[in-house]
Structure 1
Amino acid sequence: MTVSDENGAATKLKGKFQATAVCFILGLGSLVAWNSMLTIGDYYYKLFPKYHPSRVLTLVYQPFALVTMTILAHYESRINTRMRILAGYSLFFVSTLLVLVLDLATSGKGGLGTYIGLCALSACFGFADALVQGGIVGDMSFMCPEFIQSFLAGLAASGALTSGLRLLTKVAFEKSDNGLRIGAIIFFAISTCFELICIVLYASYFPKFSIVKHYRSKAASEGSKTVSADLAAAGIKNEINDEVGFDAKPQERLSNKQLFLQNIDYAADLFLIYVLTLSIFPGFLFENTGLHKLGDWYALVLIAMYNVLDLISRYIPLIKCLKLESRNGLFIAILSRFLLIPAFYFTAKYGDQGWMIFLVSFLGLTNGYLTVCVLTVAPKGYTGPEQNALGNLLVVFLAAGLFAGVALDWLWLIGKSGF
């Protein structure tokens, strides 16, 4: 290796750890508001006992996320990624703040009007999620795999964080008359702060890391126009090729249709992962697991176990010998997860809480592990613009799986009294 090659490698790696940490925080901020809404489900069940809040709020959220992601994926090559992501985090910030304001303005009272307002804000979360998640996964698909892994770990960490906070607030305020409401207010105050932090990090810090500038400059040299605003924010305008050492030879990129056909198995993988997961989590855990010794704590413990194992599993693929990269192996593993459906059914009907906690933990473990494996393996072998487009396409199928899972989750209520 020549001296110039060594210097180039050093420049590329500079700031990798810091950038990876920022990716984690950006992932956390992408779902912390939504996970806060899910985790305080016991509060919403108290306010709206007849409206199935965990299922309805999720069902409202997902169509907005899916439709918006699909449209943005179609026009991906012409969209300013920087403005898209900043707009998403800004909408998260405003919507989270409004959830807090809605609760304060109504003094924590239920009613149809408040519920409709909450559903409208849930739709805003879905729209913001489409702006942020598709944009960032596409953006990081042409960078090092550790960035996507860290972002996905941040998504899971948001669930683990909110679950941990929910357990703490329940302990702290359990004997208070307004304990559930106080916990909800704390949740959304913290979430609002996280969204503001994400806006600042993505706008001012992330584009300026050397390794990020390296990958974005490389993508620009391959014909990507989505990175222009980020490069300009980092102080790189017309000197991209001279400064980073790439030849400006934009290649003719594959179309979205071609990318889809070449990666249809990965798209199916993500769809099937989340069809199963969302057909069980969170609605089934709140409404179909019965009464056990843990009482009011039962659903909260189940949600917490899912989130913690989902987070831990997203770091397993960092151990190379444990990472599943075989396309056939991934598909078989994902199909085998559907055995969890009868397992959950019979455990809810005949099993005790220990078996249910084990199943929920396994659901979270496989969900996080398989998601990271698919999204880090799929983009390999493509140019920067193609990797960006593929990342957007795969997130669309992930969102489609979420929506289908949420819809199928209602089937658990068939034959249940009060449906």
Structure 2
Amino acid sequence: MTIAIDESSRNPMRLEGKLSAIIVCWILGLGSLLAWNTMLTIGDYYYELFPKYHPSRVLTLVYQPFAIGTMAILAHKDEKLNTRKRNLAGYTLYFLGTLALLLLDLGTSGKGGLGNYIGICVIVASFGVSDALVQGGMVGDLSFMCPEFMQSFLAGLAASGALTSVLRLVTKAAFEHSSNGLRKGVILFLAISTFFEFLCIVLYAFAFPKFPIVKYYRSKAASEGSKTVAADLAAVGIKAPTQTGDDANTQVGRLSNKELFLQNIDYALDLYLIYVLTLSIFPGFLYENTGTHNLGSWYPIVLIAMYNVLDLIARYIPLIKKIELKSRKGLMVAILSRFLLIPCFYFTAKYGDQGWMIMLVSFLGLTNGYLTVCVFTAAPKGYKGPEANALGNILVLCLLLGIFSGVALGWLWLIGNSEF
């Protein structure tokens, strides 16, 4: 049995809802990292509560094993997973986690202590599970749709960092001179983040599956043997095909995860290396190794904001086709060249002023966003729905492995630091 697709709608670009779907993809990308970026952006608050526990480094190190472990399991089982339940579970867990952070702070009256720190670590671990559920699920789902959806989702990921940075600057300025102002700003900040996570649940559950262009791509993927889209199609009244006859043969002929990985090993290595470098510097180095400057307590917040804003801007640059980097060798050369930033950051932190550091952080964000979009939009091309979905999950796993490795290597910056 195959899904009937209206012949007048064979060209997906003519289907209604493309622009609306792009906007929703952006919001869903925003919600996919908003909770985690919230943790990074309120790092100044946690450094005040837990000054001896290296919160930016420790919380990132807690987050990553849960993200990687969950993602590895999901990538192995991707062809049998219910993508709808997976993504809704991820956004729901994000919502409950941000709400728990808010309630924990209110319930403890903003006190420090080991017990509260452990509670925060548990919530951060749940964010790692949510990350694997949502990022892998959404990237896999969008991999067999038009590239604009993937670009918009990735831009939304970066927008979560930019939005949290802007909100953090606003709330810090608004409450700076009031009693216990830092905590008041954080409470408002967490409330806004909780609202956005709830919005993502609603949009993914009720709006995104109903766009004609989304139904087209999911129907096409189902006709090619994809089982992951069945629940999303059922939600809009479309019955997925049963895997018999030609459809079953199509599924049997699907490339294995190992074959997909070997065919795209350079793309997988690209993403790994991008995030090894980025996370070895961001955010731990920016909080703990850049010294004291004229901006005072604003300095790390400004650095985080500049990274996030430039990361967001860079994710729209590939829309200009003339400057989109598509060459596989070109991508690898550009990514390896970024490692020259390591000595640049070291000597700037040791001898340079805050202006040079802001410029370097901006360049780090610019290259991170641009290269990430170039890799993700290039890699899934030429594969059928089930294979594109699987490849998307594999690439997200490599990205998370890069993040974990970068976070671990980031501790090397503390060598020789007397406070460590």
The one-letter code matched in structure 2 to 1:312 is I
- For residue 169 of structure 1, the aligned residue among 158, 168, 171 is 171
Where does residue 410 of structure 2 map in the other structure?
A: 409
Per-residue deviation, residues 373-399 of structure 1 (Å, max 9, x unmatched): 000000001111000000000000000
Is this contact kept in 1: 2:64–2:400, CA < 8 A?
yes
**What is the CA–CA distance in structure 2 between the aligned matches of 1:145 and 1:111, rounded to whole Å?**
47
The match for 1:387 is: 388
Q: Relative to structure 1, is the Cα distance of residues 354 and 374 closer, same or farther in structure 2, using a 3 angstrom cutoff?
A: same
**Rounded Cα–Cα distance in structure 2 between residues aligned with 1:357 and 1:58:** 22
Which portions of structure 1, spanning 4 or more consecutive aligned residues, are displaced by more than 4 angstroms? Answer: 4-7, 246-249
Report the TM-score, using the length of structure 1 for normalisation.
0.96
- Cα distance, 1:9 vs structure 2: 2.5
2:285 aligned residue: 284
CA contact (8 A) 2:158 2:311 kept: yes
Aligned to 1:319: 320
Cα 1:400/1:238, change in 2 over 3 Å: closer
Q: Secondary structure at the match of 2:11?
A: helix
What is the letter of the counterpart of residue 257 of structure 2?
Answer: N
1:221–1:249 Cα contact (<8 Å) kept: no
Contact 2:234–2:240 (8 Å) recurs in 1: no
1:146 to 128, 145, 148: 148
Partner of 1:243: none
Distance 2:82 2:345 in 1: 44
Q: Percent identity?
A: 74
Residue in 1 aligned with 2:182? Answer: 180
Q: Which amino acid aligns with 2:76?
A: H
Cα distance, 1:34 vs structure 2: 1.0
Among 235, 239, 250, the residue aligned to 1:237: 239
User: Retained in 2: the 8 A contact 1:221–1:250?
Assistant: no
One-letter identity of the residue aligned with 1:357: I
Aligned match of 1:24: 26
Deviation at 1:417, TM superposition (A): 1.1
Deviation sequence 1:233-276 (CA, Å, 0-9, x none)? 11111589xxxxx9997351100000000000000000000000
Q: Which amino acid aligns with 2:335?
A: I
Task: Say which of 104, 108, 133 aligns to 2:110.
Answer: 108
Q: RMSD of the TM alignment (CA)?
A: 1.7
| Matched AA of 1:276 | L
* Cα drift, residue 411 of structure 1: 0.5
Which residue does 1:308 correspond to in 2? 309
Instruction: Give the drift of 1:137.
Output: 0.2
Letter in 2 for 1:39: T
1:117 equivalenced with 2:113 (yes/no): no
Q: Distance in 2 between matches of 1:248 and 1:134?
A: 25
**Letter of the structure 1 residue corresponding to residue 269 of structure 2:** A
How far apart are 1:177 and its partner, in Å? 2.5
Q: CA deviation at 1:170?
A: 1.3
Instruction: Give me the TM-score of the superposition, normalised by structure 2.
Output: 0.96
For residues 9 and 391 of structure 1, what CA distance do their matches in structure 2 show?
Answer: 24
Question: 2:65 is matched with which residue?
Answer: 63
Unaligned stretches of 5+ residues in structure 1: 241-245
Contact 2:9-2:15 at 8 Å conserved across structures:
no
Aligned length: 412
Letter in 2 for 1:104: L
* Aligned-pair CA distance for 1:32: 0.9
Partner secondary structure for residue 24 of structure 2: helix
Q: Displacement, 1:8?
A: 3.2
Q: Deviations over 1:205-229 (max 9, x none)?
A: 1011000010001100110000000
Q: Which amino acid aligns with 1:369?
A: Y
Q: What pairs up with 1:9-408 in 2 under 5 angstroms?
A: 9=11, 12-237=14-239, 250=250, 252-408=253-409
Q: Structure 1 pair 238/261, CA: closer, same or farther in 2 (3 Å)?
A: closer
Structure 2 Cα separation of the partners of residues 109 and 247 of structure 1? 59
**Which amino acid in structure 2 is aligned with residue 56 of structure 1?**
V
Q: Is the 8 A contact 1:222 1:248 kept in 2?
A: no
Deviates more, 1:8-17 or 1:30-39: 8-17
- Provide the C-alpha distance between the structure 2 equivalents of 1:238 and 1:5, rounded to a whole number of angstroms: 18
The answer (yes or no) to whether the contact 2:12–2:216 under 8 Å persists in 1 is no
Q: Matched residues in 1 for 2:43 and 2:197: separation?
A: 21
* Structure 2 runs not aligned, ≥5 long: 1-5
